[in-house]
Structure 1
């Protein structure tokens, strides 16, 4: 009976291509990597290969799936560039602090892609406003392909 439960549990989280997305595992792994960060929401790409993490305090995180574990990192304000795709369901991200995680990410819906890009922008704008008060120039997020 235990074998049946284990097999059923493993197969229930599999997509048609055999990959797994387990939100509980994602939350645990991000919590292990960054125990002082409070997760507000998770946004999974269409293929389940990456998760954008919205955190409290206008912070953001990113998780890339590597089969049975995730590579986690915080997205520091001003250290990410986002370029829209011609299809509105995704965008290309350049992580300046973690270039190996950069890439093109597509979501299930245009609404989800817009939401993620907006809170990435909010993360950037919040730090830009703070820097503006300190007299430092802001850099990073751009929706203009020429920049």
Structure 2
């Protein structure tokens, strides 16, 4: 009889330990959606860049950042930290996918960040894709195009 009681107690302790580790894992996953943490991590990586807006993907594994001078940034969750990337003009390609909340991104200067990203709403996906596409053309190319436009008028 006493072996049975000890076996039940052992099973209860093991279940409590399993549930407590699952709960702490859930809390860590919830931290991924913390925009304050994302702002701090990006600010630590790029202290001279001012953030205008940011949008996290639906699963919280990636955050796209819009910066003050219409540049863009990208953050990907890597186990226990964010890998931050400043997107240089002309180094990103965006391709739409079947659903209007999804698109694929190819980073020409950081291919390990390439992937397909899903957002909570189509509006978020559209806004982020516009940030990335607006960042596609280098400012010097815009100045040349404006100069040529003024010369032809």
Calculate the TM-score normalised by the size of structure 1. 0.75
> 1:100-143, CA deviations, whole angstroms, 9 ceiling, x for partnerless residues?
000000101111000101121222246341353588xxxxxxxx
Name the one with the larger helix percent. 2
RMSD of aligned residue pairs (Cα, Å): 2.4
Deviation at 1:21, TM superposition (A): 2.2
Calculate the TM-score normalised by the size of structure 2. 0.72
Q: Which has the larger radius of gyration?
A: 2
- 1:129 maps onto 2:149 in alignment: no
Q: What are structure 1's unaligned runs of at least 5 residues? A: 1-7, 136-147
Match of 1:124, SS state, is coil
What is the count of residue pairs matched by the alignment? 125
Paired with 1:12 and 1:93, the residues of 2 have a C-alpha distance of: 29
Q: What are structure 2's unaligned runs of at least 5 residues? A: 1-22, 149-153
Is this contact kept in 1: 2:90–2:138, CA < 8 A? no
Report which structure shows greater RCO (CA 8 Å, sep ≥6).
Answer: 1
